[in-house]
Amino acid sequence: MTISIRSVEKKFGRYPALNKVGLEIADGELLALLGPSGSGKTTLLRVIAGLEFPDAGQVLFHDQDVTFASAAARRVGFVFQQYALFKHMTVAKNIAFGLDVRKGKDKPSKVEITRRVDELLRLVELEGLGGRHPSQLSGGQRQRVALSRALAVQPSVLLLDEPFGALDATVRKSLRKELRRVHDATGVTTIFVTHDQEEALDLADRVAILNQGVIEQVGTPEQVHDHPVSPFVCGFVGESNRFEGVVSGGRFTSGSVFLPATGLADGPAVAFARPHDFSLDGSGFEVRVNRVHIQGALAHVDAETADGRRIDVVTSRDQAEHFTGTVRLAARKAHVFPA
């Protein structure tokens, strides 16, 4: 199912939650809506679902205008952060619910419903647990049940609102892989909301980054991380050292810090340098190393310039021994924007 969002606007009172938002989602794509709280990502998801209607603009499913169609008419599957499972029903009954409540010729036979439930239990690796109740499952297992219930009705689109937000970090990482596997197996166009950039970059085919009701950038995880189009995107996606200064003659300067700024016009600017883009260089700027801490194969270096500016550096573990006392750093590249 392809989805087209065309100049969608939505206000709550005087607050503009969405401001002329446009977005094209490909058939079978897994898209993340990423942004801070209040950026409009959940409102956009609810507009796509038919749980909110826009004040202006259009929503199209496969070129069919569904702007004011109900959620049921759109055949969307929705997974909430809090699962919303029926506590008095077994896992199998929860999964089958959307099929059981259908009427007349639209309702599958009991045999078909059982087959579909068994198929989904296998898909999410919960075989043998159909007879249990939600209270007998872990948080990760309950989230899989919620996902299965949404998939049971064979939705044209699957929508997930902060699906892993209530889970601990280890379970979240496991379920990210699970969702990716399930998506690849079903091919359902899937959109999920998250404020967790690691989650979005790890899971999605493309990421749409929202800020104050506007989409700042849409691209692959690599594109939005390595080629940000605005200071907001650069500061929000991935770790960065931020500097305010000026560009002159193809070089950005902020106090004692200088960074490459090839091709930019002279003038005030803001620059971002990723921690992993710094390296030791005798021709670079001087910093004092305050602390080096090892995390697995990487070394995280806390450094400081003579004027008190903090610099975060990430290097390989075998380079850690060279970061001691006073050293000189240079950035392989930097993202510099006119101020």
Q: What is the pLDDT of residues 290-319, one digit of tens each?
A: 999 999 999 999 999 989 999 999 999 999
Burial class, 208, CB count within 10 angstroms (exposed 0-12 / middle 13-18 / buried 19+) = buried
Q: Which of the listed residues 235, 261, 290 is the one where a domain comes to its end?
A: 235
Q: Which of the listed residues 219, 235, 251 is the one where a domain comes to its end?
A: 235
Same domain for 214 and 167, yes or no, is yes
Model confidence, pTM = 0.88
Same domain for 169 and 212, yes or no, is yes
Residue 103 is part of a domain; what is its CATH number? Answer: 3.40.50.300
Same domain for 250 and 176, yes or no, is no
* Nearby residues of 283 by Cβ (< 8 Å), 6 or more positions away: 328, 330
Same domain for 196 and 275, yes or no, is no
Q: Which domain holds residue 107?
A: 3-235
Same domain for 46 and 80, yes or no, is yes
| Distinct helix (H) and strand (E) counts, the chain | 9, 19
Same domain for 33 and 167, yes or no, is yes
| Per-residue model confidence (pLDDT) at position 166 | 64
Domain count for the chain, please give it: 2
| Per-residue model confidence (pLDDT) at position 234 | 96
Same domain for 74 and 15, yes or no, is yes
On the CB side of 13, CA atoms within 13 Å amount to 1
| Per-residue model confidence (pLDDT) at position 140 | 86
* Nearby residues of 320 by Cβ (< 8 Å), 6 or more positions away: 292, 294, 299, 301
CA distance linking residue 286 with residue 257, whole number of Å: 8
pLDDT in tens, 219-277: 999 999 999 999 999 999 999 999 999 999 999 999 999 999 988 999 999 999 999 99
Same domain for 192 and 247, yes or no, is no
Same domain for 205 and 277, yes or no, is no
CA distance linking residue 233 with residue 294, whole number of Å: 28
Same domain for 189 and 271, yes or no, is no
Q: Which of the listed residues 189, 213, 235 is the one where a domain comes to its end?
A: 235
Give the Å distances, CA to CA, from 71 to 55, 151, 158. Answer: 17, 15, 12
Same domain for 21 and 69, yes or no, is yes
pLDDT in tens, 128-178: 999 999 999 988 898 889 889 989 988 999 999 988 776 777 777 888 888
Same domain for 178 and 255, yes or no, is no
Pull the structure tokens for residue 50.
């038919």
Beta strands in the chain (DSSP E): 3-12, 15-25, 30-34, 56-61, 64-65, 76-79, 157-161, 189-194, 206-211, 214-219, 241-248, 251-254, 257-260, 267-273, 278-295, 298-304, 310-316, 326-331, 335-338
* Nearby residues of 215 by Cβ (< 8 Å), 6 or more positions away: 21, 22, 23, 208, 209
The Cβ of residue 263 has, within 10 Å, a number of other Cβ atoms equal to 8
**pLDDT over 90 at 7, yes or no:** yes
Three-state secondary-structure class, residue 311: strand
Crossing angle of helices 169-186 and 139-152, in 10° steps, is 20
On the CB side of 270, CA atoms within 13 Å amount to 11
- Say which DSSP state 13 is in: T
